A and B are shown apart, each in its own frame.
Chain A
Amino acid sequence: MAENKLTGSAINMLSLIIIRSLKVRFQQVLVVFAALMVGAAIITAMAGVYFDINTKMSQELRTFGANFYIGPGQGTSLSNQTYDNIVSKIPDSTLVATSPYLYGVARTELQKVILLGVDFSHLNKLVPYWQVKGKWINVGFDERHAMIGATLASQLELKVGDTITLTNNAVKHKLIIRGIVESGEAIDNYLIVNISLAQSWLKKPNEVNYALFSLENNDEQVSHLAQSLYRQYPKLEVRPIRKVSASEGKVLEKIKGLMGLVTVVILILSTLCVNTTLTAMIAERRREFALQKALGASHRDITLQIILETTIICTVAIFFGLILGYVLAQILGHAVFDTAIDLRIQVLPITIILSLVAAFIAAIVPTRRAIHIEPAKVLKGE
């Protein structure tokens, strides 16, 4: 009983010391708290961005356009149905954009042109690099508007808003030019219309020449899909467009390496910064510890007190740091990628462990010094 009482009062005493120590030096505690919190926030934000960078950058790399090709093999053709079938087999999360392509020669009132039929509804995501004067056509059923390649437009002296008329003996079809496309590729020479119009005008109903796909490729989806489609459609020509898909991997790897390295450097340095701050805080209290020792405090008491204080400040700081870090990551995501950053679960242990480790390493040296203080010397002011 008596022993219990004694420990009880010791605990009371300890909690009193700690509460008083936090209260009296509130301003200093607040400063250390702020430093720890910002440190934890930075760690959270950086780790969060690092784990999400792969997804985010692979979305950014979709600006290079299609990375997957499907066309008819030797002696076969690709039909609308097969195309629709293939599209339905690609998971939504992987498919960024797709369009069938159909080429043919058509007569206009001015001269013969090469007609290209595409699916306009996805086009600006499939070929975001096209330099378009005027506007994109954003719907998949518009048969009254067309886009035209820059070279062809200058040959025919057409401007945005002009009309071009397709003729087939008596049948005429008027198209209003919505946008002029410059890509630096063969596309610059074509008249681009809706696929359904191209199919009916060229009398190739249900046929497409080939189809291009833009797929997320942060986890080798392209090569996996190529293998599975190759098995299901052995007669079709299925291939990743290496120029885009292979380069993507290389560039992603570089970016990941870069972010990883930067993150590690920031982690180490902000941990060290927190460390020096804490060291300073504990070291400046020599006099206090000397007094405690003079009054009979044991080494264990002093160590316990420092550890408890550090833990309390750290826990609260980490909690707020996590919240602040989440906000920071979102700001960063919106500033750079215009979307939110998904914070992975791994971020939590990383932040907590790193912050605690930093705090306790910071506590070791000054604690040892505090223990080995000679009260008389310190209190006398030597």
Chain B
Amino acid sequence: MLWLIIRQSWKQNKRQKLLAVTTVFLAAGLISALLTISIGIGDKMSREMKTYGANIVIQPAGQIVLPEMLSGKIPIDEQDFIDEKELPKIKDIFWRNNIIGFAPFIRGNIQVQSQSIPFVGTFFNKQIPVPDESDYRTGNKYISSFWKVTGKWPNDEKKQVLIGQRLASKKDWKIGQKITLEGKSRKQTVLITGILTDGSNDDNAIIAPLAITQLLLNMEGKVQSIKVSALTVPENALSKKAGEDLASLDSSEYDRWFCTAYVSSISHQLENAFSNATVKPIWQVAASEGLVIEKIQSLLFVVTFAALIAAAMGIASLMTNTIIERSKEIGLMKSLGAHNWQIYLLFYAESTISGLVGGALGCVAGWLLAKVMGYVLFGSALNFAWIVIPCVLFISIEIALIGTWFPAHRIARLYPIEVLYGRK
């Protein structure tokens, strides 16, 4: 019987039902798109935040780092180094897929035209075999996207260098020019392929492939520091506790910490992988990116919530209208002996159907919308979290039911005679 009434009502009142479903559909589409974005945004933004550069630094244990201002002016008695052969170990830790890239560094001074000039050795875009990936490429091209290179990036295998923009204007060196670098025991003629602007002291330096630098500074097979760029999740209470004292974690906390991509747990794993190095988060990047991503995420969740309220209002008002319109029908049903609960059941069943149909269509639309937005903003699709579907279905049915509650109660309370007579 109920089924018959519902079927009849949907058949007779196609336009009205269509409106109800459309409203739910729009609301559900909006909410599912926003939810998808809120969930996926952390990932996408943390990739965008990689423009701030590396967030982890690996240094030889016990090394004292001098301020850039003073480097070279105060002699350091004994320097510690990291073995270059250890580099592939970075891609051999538990969180290897979160490592976006890394670049080793050596800093020193070199004579050019018998003048001492700061000299930096690093990777630009170097192929380095790591476990699982024999053609893995890494270097500053991947981790220092804030570097502005005019001209071309040097080839790591050739005798090519970048020069800092200040040095270039001071010496009047041009792209394509060849200069001779005089090391302690060797000389090397290199080609300038580009000019680097990065706003640090490297603007006054020559930046060369690691191999050439090692050769000229007599430091074969050694590196001074390694910068690593890793995708991380924002810090929370657990990671702070771990950072203060690792021993204070119990075993389940330790497991949870170890298996979450906190910057501190990635650093810890890197430290274990290297034989004699300290690994530290660069808090300028690591702490700040977490804060900013959290802000964006909370902004989106609040916006989603606001949109939810708006959608709920829209649906509720629509339901009220459509139900009040049917007061005559209800009056007739009551005078034919229908109980109040039967009338409630009818309304709730109908709005559940609207909610379900609209919600399901809305999920599809939201999925498409989120995909489009992902492409427009980040150039790649947002991952669709399956949790969104039950959430949205539940929310849209819930909204439809709540929207029905008020008018259903009002109408069920009516006296049939009043309604049918037309006084009310």
**How far is B281's CA from A28's CA once the two chains are assembled, in angstroms?**
60
Q: Report whether A269 and B320 are in contact in the complex, using a CB–CB cutoff of 8 Å.
A: no
A304 smallest CB distance to B (angstroms): 22
B-side contacts of A250, CB under 8 Å: 48, 51
Interface assignment of A335: CB less than 8 Å from any CB of chain B: yes
Q: Report whether B51 and A251 are in contact in the complex, using a CB–CB cutoff of 8 Å.
A: yes
A155 smallest CB distance to B (angstroms): 9
B420 smallest CB distance to A (angstroms): 13
Looking at B20-28, B105-113, B176-184, the stretch in contact with chain A turns out to be B20-28
Q: Known contacts A114-B67, A129-B283, A250-B48: does B318 contact A280 (CB below 8 Å)?
A: yes
Identify whether the interface residues of A are mostly helix, strand, loop, or mixed: helix
| 8 A Cβ contacts from B18-47 to A | 19, 22-23, 26-27, 29-30, 33-34, 37, 41, 45
Question: Chain B residue with minimal CB distance to A283?
Answer: B15
A-side contacts of B92, CB under 8 Å: none
- Interface size (B, Cβ < 8 Å)? 81
| Size class of the A contact interface (CB-based, 8 Å) | 35 or more
Q: Report whether B314 and A274 are in contact in the complex, using a CB–CB cutoff of 8 Å.
A: yes
**How far is B332's CA from A246's CA once the two chains are assembled, in angstroms?**
71
**How far is B257's CA from A242's CA once the two chains are assembled, in angstroms?**
33
Q: Known contacts A42-B307, A45-B306, A270-B307: does B199 contact A240 (CB below 8 Å)?
A: yes
A-side contacts of B64, CB under 8 Å: 189
Q: Known contacts A189-B65, A261-B376, A335-B298: does B53 contact A254 (CB below 8 Å)?
A: no
Q: Report whether A184 and B48 are in contact in the complex, using a CB–CB cutoff of 8 Å.
A: no
A-side contacts of B41, CB under 8 Å: 258
Q: Report whether B148 and A242 are in contact in the complex, using a CB–CB cutoff of 8 Å.
A: yes
Interface assignment of A96: CB less than 8 Å from any CB of chain B: no
| 8 A Cβ contacts from B156-199 to A | 166, 197-199
Q: Report whether A337 and B69 are in contact in the complex, using a CB–CB cutoff of 8 Å.
A: no
Q: Known contacts A65-B288, A182-B283: does B306 contact A254 (CB below 8 Å)?
A: no
Q: Report whether A254 and B45 are in contact in the complex, using a CB–CB cutoff of 8 Å.
A: yes
A31, A131, A188, A189: most-surrounded residue (chain B CB, <10 A): A31
User: Chain A 230-251 against B: per-residue CB contact (8 Å), 1 yes, 0 no?
Assistant: 0000000101111111110011
Question: Chain B residue with minimal CB distance to A331?
Answer: B302
Interface assignment of A198: CB less than 8 Å from any CB of chain B: no
Which listed residue, B67, B286, B314, touches A184 by the CB 8 Å rule? B286
Looking at A32-40, A81-89, A199-207, the stretch in contact with chain B turns out to be A32-40
**How far is B102's CA from A52's CA once the two chains are assembled, in angstroms?**
37
Q: Report whether A247 and B146 are in contact in the complex, using a CB–CB cutoff of 8 Å.
A: yes
B-side contacts of A335, CB under 8 Å: 298, 302
Q: Report whether A239 and B203 are in contact in the complex, using a CB–CB cutoff of 8 Å.
A: yes
Q: Report whether A243 and B148 are in contact in the complex, using a CB–CB cutoff of 8 Å.
A: no
Looking at B207-215, B289-297, B336-344, the stretch in contact with chain A turns out to be B289-297
**How far is B298's CA from A182's CA once the two chains are assembled, in angstroms?**
27
Looking at B2-10, B269-277, B321-329, B385-393, the stretch in contact with chain A turns out to be B321-329
B28 smallest CB distance to A (angstroms): 10
Q: Report whether B49 and A251 are in contact in the complex, using a CB–CB cutoff of 8 Å.
A: yes
Q: Could you list 26 examples of A-B contacts with CB < 8 Å?
A: A28-B320, A38-B309, A61-B288, A61-B292, A63-B287, A103-B70, A105-B74, A114-B70, A129-B287, A131-B287, A183-B282, A209-B67, A242-B146, A243-B52, A243-B144, A243-B198, A246-B146, A246-B199, A257-B376, A269-B307, A273-B23, A273-B311, A277-B23, A284-B321, A332-B303, A336-B295
Residues of B within 8 A of A (CB): 15-16, 19, 22-23, 26-27, 29-30, 33-34, 37, 41, 45, 48-49, 51-53, 56-57, 64-70, 74, 144-148, 166, 197-200, 203, 243-244, 280-288, 291-292, 295-296, 298-300, 302-303, 306-307, 309-311, 313-318, 320-322, 324-325, 369, 373, 376-378
Which 3 pairs across A and B sit closest by C-beta, in order of nearness? A273-B314, A242-B199, A35-B317
